[in-house]
Amino acid sequence: MSEENIGTPVSKPSGRIAKNTFLLLVRMFILMVISLYSQRILLNSLGDDDYGLFNAVAGVVIMLTCVSTVLSISTQRFFSCELANNDNKKLNEIFSKSINLNVALAFLTLVLFETIGLWYVSCKMIIPPDRVFASHWVFQFSIFSFINILIQTPFMAAVMAHEDMGIYTIITTAECFLKFAVVLLIGAFDIDNMIFYGLGLWGVSLLVVVSYISVSVIRYQECRYKWQKNKKLYHELLTFSGWTFYGSLAGTAMIQGNLLLLNQFYRFSESAFVISMQIYNAFMQLCGSVVLAIRPAMIKNYSIKEYGKLNLLFSFCNKTLLLFITIIGIPLIFEMPTVLDIWLPDVSELKIKFARLMIIYVTVITMQNPITIIMQATGNIKNYHLYIDTILLLCIPVSCGLFYYEYPPETVLYSMIIVCIIAHFIRLYLLKVNYQVFSVKDYLLKFLTRSIIVTALTFMCVWGIHGLIEDRILKLIVVFSSTVVLQIGLCYLLVINRSEKLLVNKYVSKLIKRII
């Protein structure tokens, strides 16, 4: 994507995106610290066995939480397009139809989980006899927590489409603190710890759905339910949601499917995988902060054919995501034993391996976000998800086959990384087919190649620094701080283009003037 066809940013939208990104990053750091610390307490309270069992049982439901994400993305996409066109009548139609679809799906989910899902947990999962009763309660609470998430989806999508990230930040931060309170209260009552934790998470999800409904009804005129008969919009929503669901299912299946495989082949490794999943979630929150701030603007710019601004946002999103991931990921790879030792009461070599490989996987999978946003904006997502996510789903039989031949448990992450790399290059081809303004050559040469060089240089420098210092805590501080300086400096010199440098210089100048 050449610099010439990247438009000059408009100050007001740029300022709003910067503000939203800042709010979401503040939220992300708060949530990350609380989440990581709460996992330490949770692991200590439940123990390795119950901790892994809880996530495996709840994972049967979690595998379908991608449905709520899909519906939110789909509704938000249609909301953003109509907001750009100022069509309030169509907005209300989209909202009302999304309510109907979510309620119908919630009922279907309840039926499926209480039949097939309950059979799987009871007959197929490996659960110690004395934990069967608690596991069934956890499963029930997970079902109703998921139903709450489905119901809140249209309301949350309205908040995101309106780019009211302040509201989103307040609700999600409050949710995180409430979940942390639940963790702290484990053991305080005469209730089984697993059952209490499941009950607490369901209670928090109920408060969250009430919050989203209240805010949306008060603030947004289109969030007033009216019965709709227009079948065309149902078809559009279902078609878009259906293919997006297939894509989301592939990503979720790679995680939860491999966790279930570990439950079958390597029961002892579940805890290590779940710990690495907490690192995955933390990184996804970081990346999600950038994506959430930029997605509505990207979709709106595509809708009104402002391709220059869209290209600028695409470039900004790619580079920001990679910068944030590498700034945190590189030092974590080197200092993972120390970080896990500070974080967890019990650290094994397997947990360190899983955590390091998960960082590499997150780096690869995150870079698909900007591409997927544009593909969703075009609406031409059938072939995109059909080709890409079929490849991703191959990870499950590959992992199963490797386990059958007694490959080690960390093999699941190697297979996940490899299929994601293959899928990424196919994404680029499909993006070019559907969005011809995009230049694959510029992406590969001006972004990807330069980013790999910068990351490799930083990695080698940090490796040298890592080997020079003996004290663990001092080494941790120096490695993290040197990575920040090196990666930001090298990205400024080699990765960002002239337009982006001017924008960075402008904001840095403003910041310095305020400080002085």
| CA-closest candidate to residue 443, choices 403, 365, 495 | 495
More confident residue, 233 or 361: 361
**How far, in Å, CA of 179 to CA of 282, rounded?**
15
- Pick the more confident residue, 158 or 87: 158
Q: Which residue has the higher pLDDT, 183 or 457?
A: 457
Which one of 269-273, 408-412, 431-435 scores highest in mean pLDDT? 431-435
Pick from 320, 311, 327, 323: which is nearest to 293 by CA?
Answer: 320
Apex 153 CA angle, 150 and 154, nearest 5: 130
Q: Contact at 8 Å (CB) between 94 and 82?
A: yes
Between 314 and 382, the higher pLDDT residue:
314
**3-state secondary structure at position 422:** helix
Task: Using alpha carbons, select from 81, 94, 104 the residue that is nearest to residue 155.
Answer: 94
| Domain-wise residue ranges, the chain | 3-515
Residue 3 has pLDDT above 60, yes or no: no
* Position 454 confidence tier, pLDDT thresholds 50, 70, 90: very high
Q: Tell me: the pLDDT tens digits for 101-128? A: 778 878 887 888 788 877 877 777 777 7
Instruction: Tell me what pLDDT residue 228 has.
Output: 62
Confidence of residue 455 (pLDDT cuts 50, 70, 90): very high
Buried b (16+ CB within 10 A) or exposed e, 231-249: eebeebbeebbebbbbbbb
Let me know: does 298 contact 372? Beta carbons within 8 Å. no
Residue-level pLDDT at 453: 93
Using the predicted structure, report yes or no on whether residue 473 has a pLDDT greater than 50: yes
Sign of CA dihedral 160, 165, 167, 172: positive
Amino acid, res. 381: I
pLDDT above 70 covers a percentage of the chain that reads 83
Max avg pLDDT among 8-12, 183-187, 418-422: 418-422
Give the 3-state secondary structure percentages of the chain, helix then strand then coil, rounded to 5: 85, 0, 15
